[in-house]
Amino acid sequence: MPPAKQGRRARTPRRILVLDVGGTHVKLRVNARGPIRKFASGSGMTPRAMVGQIRALIGPADYDAVSMGYPGLVFRGKVAGEPYNLGKGWVGFDFRQALGRPLQVINDAAMQAIGSYRGGRMLFLGLGTGLGATLIIDDVVEPTEVGHMPYKHGRTFEDYVGEHGRKRRGNKKWRKSVLDVVARLKLAFEADYVVLGGGNAARLKHLPAGVRRGSNANAFLGGVRIWRRGEGELTLPARAPLRRSRG
């Protein structure tokens, strides 16, 4: 995608199709309001199969641009690593051509984090099939892969607080591990506050000070906000300031 010409503001898309790609479902919505549609994903879903499912629900005539939250490594606006919980073939797949419109690709946790951000130094942790983590410092977005780093007994953070860890150890031990991981990462990243998103955030009964639940709907708000900065094209992850929007 070519950068906007200097001195000329790029046109902001009016209808943005936001795709929230997860290990169990793909959710889609046009802009941050309106009906949310979804279909099952899973370990066998390839990008081509996903596009086919999307096309069965909505066509390029219904949107002007696309934001895709991808559950894996994204570098310079492109998928840079195969997902842990989906099928193969994601690296190198031409999503822009397949979906027929200009495209922004960003890590799924980063997309929900952008929609949850309220200023300052925020750590977002997505408790879903795995563990997504994004840090935003004074409007600068930095997705991380900390979920795959070692935690205890040869296992990663994700092994303990992801969905497989919850099923393996039970809810009581899982909740205890989540609170420990939150405390450790909040301290390590020197975060002002932590936002917990993902489907499993609702399973936590009590949250410590400085920690709040996010909403999965914030992923759609984040997908809209990365286009509506008013400064032309944006490629994420990026080290450029993210302009906050009202509401």
Confidence bin at 232 (pLDDT 50/70/90)? very low
pLDDT of residue 139: 87
- CB crowding 82-112: b at 16 or more within 10 Å, else e: ebebbbeebeebebbebbebbbbbbbbbbbb
- The residue that leads in pLDDT, 236 or 178, is 178
pLDDT of residue 231: 34
pLDDT over 90 percentage in the chain = 70
Residue 177 tokens, joined: 């591990």
Domain annotation covers residue 114: no
pLDDT of residue 237: 44
Handedness of CA 96, 102, 106, 110 (dihedral sign): negative
* pLDDT tens, residue by residue, 26-37: 999 999 888 999
For residue 12, count other CB atoms closer than 10 A to its CB. Answer: 13
Domain annotation covers residue 56: no
Domain span holding position 203: 119-213
Domain annotation covers residue 171: yes
* pLDDT tens, residue by residue, 68-121: 999 888 988 899 999 988 999 999 999 999 999 999 999 888 999 999 999 999
Domain annotation covers residue 148: yes
- The residue that leads in pLDDT, 85 or 242, is 85
pLDDT of residue 175: 97
Rounded distance between C-alpha atoms, residue 170 and residue 48, angstroms: 35
Domain annotation covers residue 180: yes
pLDDT of residue 10: 56
Long-range contacts of 78-87 (CB under 8 A, 24+ apart): 78/105, 79/105, 83/23, 84/23, 84/130, 85/22, 85/23, 85/41, 85/42, 85/43, 85/129, 85/130, 86/21, 86/23, 86/41, 86/42, 86/43, 86/45, 86/46, 87/43, 87/44, 87/45, 87/46, 87/49
Q: What is the CATH number of the domain that holds 155?
A: 3.30.420.40
Rounded distance between C-alpha atoms, residue 95 and residue 1, angstroms: 12
Domain annotation covers residue 207: yes
Domains held by the chain: number? 1
Residues 6+ away with beta carbon under 8 Å from 19: 26, 27, 28, 54, 66, 67, 68, 69, 223
Residue 64 tokens, joined: 């002007």
Domain annotation covers residue 27: no
Structure pTM?
0.81
pLDDT of residue 229: 62
Domain annotation covers residue 68: no
Position 190 pLDDT exceeds 90? yes
